[in-house]
Structure 1
């Protein structure tokens, strides 16, 4: 069944954009708003340089707080302190983990050593090395593949059954265990059983939500990255599996619980990153933008559940290579130039709960 949609012609965008984001579905063939696209280009020409002085401290401090929180939760005998430390660790590690998104868009020479440093400090310890996103996420940004069956990061969640939303979120609780199995058991098996290796690569080597997505073999520079990152993550996963033989079960179970909370938080953020109203049709750039979500200030809580620029996800789809630290200024300029009733304003939403409500209501009217 095709989704019902309301047409939002470019000439009427200023009048209808607020309605588009609050009540009606996006017209997938909405004519591109050339004024908005031109403004996005012209108003941000002086932005776009990734700054090591922001990236490195942000990532290192987040990771440090996260690992410190895990250690505190493991070592303390006070339940309240353990819970508080675990929550702090989950939030901090979530922020540190989200730099994987930046790694897929910044130029390889923009931040010397950052990809390696992030993988050693965050990606491999959390069993999410950058190869699981590199070469995958860029498909989500391709003009002709966004929202289609070829998009690894798109599901028409707003068009599915109501029970699919809680299942989509809660299945993330199993993500840490699944990653341990992938790297600690299946990767070693794949060294001796090629069909296992091929199956794992195609089905379990991408941070995707589309169950029909099959990953193609790596090419170019990614081949070398995959080899060393997968080997390092496999060694770490095996060490984690064997750790109860040296320690007791508490460190492992505590870390798994904290990582599960991080995974669920990321899944909640994913749930409201788009409106999920496309059932596989190609979309115009403006339609893709309106199907994506900004949760800009004045609210501050979005910086917790959508960190490292992800609260400006719709804007990111207009300017994928813009560093996260420049997105707030880019948003301010576009909002000021285009106004409250513009097409640009059509992708700005109030927060997580209104978005979840919109998607939930949509699943109930199918």
Structure 2
């Protein structure tokens, strides 16, 4: 399976949802940087399941065991390897999925691609459980970036039809980013949480699910990172963001909204500020021009589809009998994965930003 990513920073994720464990190997990290284990655990806790009714009732501590790459709390420069043990598994809930693939899930495509040899328990290697080691890797990358003044935060921009306020495009307050990057249900406007939770609860009680959008910001990245044509910032970010299960769309800056404007409306005018720094008066491009950062905040949004595993009866096929069939999915599943996806998107952004800066020689 193609579970390796990166150019200067090499990331490899392994394991299955109901196997002995899941983990990550991260190669290319700079040596000599102190790593705060408590900060890593804080990010892991934001993604961990079983916290409230908006997520799966499966509870996992998600405590990473670092095997190599850190000594006396400091990165050694050797590959950083960590494993997270799976403790709370109920594999019997998935026994029928080897012949009755779930609509909207990778059961059928995985069956075809791997001739039925893939592990279907809990989704196997296709499961959102595999985002836990990605969050660990991102938490480490985030600490490297923060020493260079680079900050990352995301929030739930939308769940179903309920929306949150958007990030200010030009100057994002540091205290806002700090609050969001520690929140387990990250929203800018406090009232939005109640309305979003109500949407999720309605779907849960109806044995259904809802999707949404995550908006992410990266500030402090200097101008000049990224390369045309296929090594651009959008390319690098998208290549890891689409590795997150359930991600179906990514847009940068104003994205599709730009398509209905004239150039005079969409172009971001340059100017020198009081410190003779180059800035733009708007940020429709999301901090990226020609695949290269321009020094403004990098802004992007990620579309998350509704959780595929739902309790409603659905039409499917019986692969063993080659006939049409009905399916009611058992097991423990999120009625909405968007809140838990927020730290995953931040982690992916941290890895992508660090990879780009390592390639530029900025670290």
TM-score, structure 1 normalization: 0.23
**Could you say which structure has the greater relative contact order, defined with CA pairs below 8 angstroms and 6 or more residues apart?**
1
Structure with higher helix content: 1
Structure with higher strand content: 2
